Amino acid sequence: MMANFITNSQTRRSFLRVGTSILALPFLETMASAAATTAEPPKRMVFLGTGFGFTKDTFYPSQDGRFSEIGLTDGLNSLARHQDDITMVSRLTNLGASNPHGGSVSYLTGANVAGTPGKRFFNSVSCDQIAAKHLGKNTRFQSLSLSANESDGGQNSGHGPGLSLSWDDSGNPIPGIKRPLDLFRTLFANPEDTREELDARLLKQQSILDIVKVGGGAMNDRLSKRDQLKLDEYFSGIRQIEQGLARQARWADIPKPDAPFDEPGSSLTGEDEIKMMYEMMIIAMQTDSTRIISYRQPVCSVLEGMGITLKAHSLSHYGFSEPRKLASQKRDQKTTELFAHFIDRMKAAKDIDGSRLYDNCIVSFGTNLRSGHELQDVPAIVTGGGAKDLKHGRHIILPKKDTPLANYWLTLMQQAGVPIEQFSHSTGTTSEILT
């Protein structure tokens, strides 16, 4: 299948290696669908969450300034070739987070999930979904939410309970695509149904939703206020399903891009899993299948692939244990090495106008914890040319401790062109990171 796309001496260099897979594909016009009608490259946003924090003494810079002058820490050294294109922001705190084991549950929402009066659990919409409403209107997938293919479901990976980093308008978790194989089929596999069969299936699903709404609406007047709120949340979920069905109908006659390589294996884990996810994320943006991606990354399987037998949660308690500290440092270096690889690939990939895909993306990389179980001053690294006003190539220490993480998300969304002035518990933007 790969040979069908190799048409000249330049693209013959494209290749796929399985195992320690490194896929180096250029932008191929024959793969484009909706992107072919776009006059100029759109803005894209990518949110990467790694789970748990990093080793305190060897990951975080202590000085404010340009990396070319203050240098990179051991944990960041894998990013040396990109040091002029990354910005690290310190003194950000997710003010809604109160449980270190909750990890990524409120990373993109900022909600106080356990502290809302009258509710055992409460979450709100994540910033990627707000951005998707504005930037993903005309794409096949309004957003892609990717998750981790961890054997324990991610419970021991610093993410906490949840399906992905993404949460819908009602604060309900959005299921994440866990395996590269599943993402491959989502992006490239066309339905086997005929148009008539697809229309009938969509109509059947719509009819079921109509029945549920009628039945629910009839009982609304007899419910308590609390139950009415629950029912309203339920109907909000139904409306989102309806919108998804409408999107399916609009795209039913437009074929998905041809796959530039065969299906990945179903057993990819750890580093190979992340690299393959990264490659398909790039293709999804190149073909304008989506413009918003969140990725809740695996941790434990990465450690296993490195020969580290400790689970990520145990590793975070490195304390005075020198072997655990060394293992934690190795994990830091592997994580940033993979991130550097993703930046390499974005810089090599071409966008619809021949520019670098990297130049039209805003990519945030971080986690909801600093080190161990510390909730304050979480790591935040941003890269990509899509944030035109960003101060690149430096570590920026914000003037106020516990600056809301929501301010950072608000700033990045505004840089992407999302018309929003307030997000979650934001108190303004992080103007210090802008020129």
Contact status, residue 343 vs residue 337, Cβ threshold 8 Å: no
Question: Which residues is 363 bridged to in the sheet?
Answer: 46, 383
Helix (H) or strand (E) holding 271: helix 270-286
User: pTM of whole model > 0.85?
Assistant: no
Q: Between β-strands 144-146 and 394-397, what pairing exists: parallel, antiparallel or unpaired? A: unpaired
Contact status, residue 24 vs residue 15, Cβ threshold 8 Å: yes
Give me the amino acid identity at 63.
Answer: Q
Helix residue ranges per DSSP H, 90-158: 127-135
Express each pLDDT in 333-382 by its tens digit: 999 999 999 999 999 999 989 999 999 999 999 999 999 889 999 999 99
Residue 30 reports pLDDT greater than 50: no
Domain ranges of the chain: 2-181+268-433, 191-254
Q: pLDDT-based confidence at 119, cuts 50/70/90?
A: confident
Rounded to 5°, angle at Cα 131 from 126 and 136 = 125
Contact status, residue 306 vs residue 275, Cβ threshold 8 Å: no
Of 160-169, 253-262, 387-396, 412-421, the range with the lowest mean pLDDT is: 160-169
d(CA 261, CA 246): 30
* CATH of span 2-181+268-433: 3.40.720.10
Contact status, residue 409 vs residue 93, Cβ threshold 8 Å: no
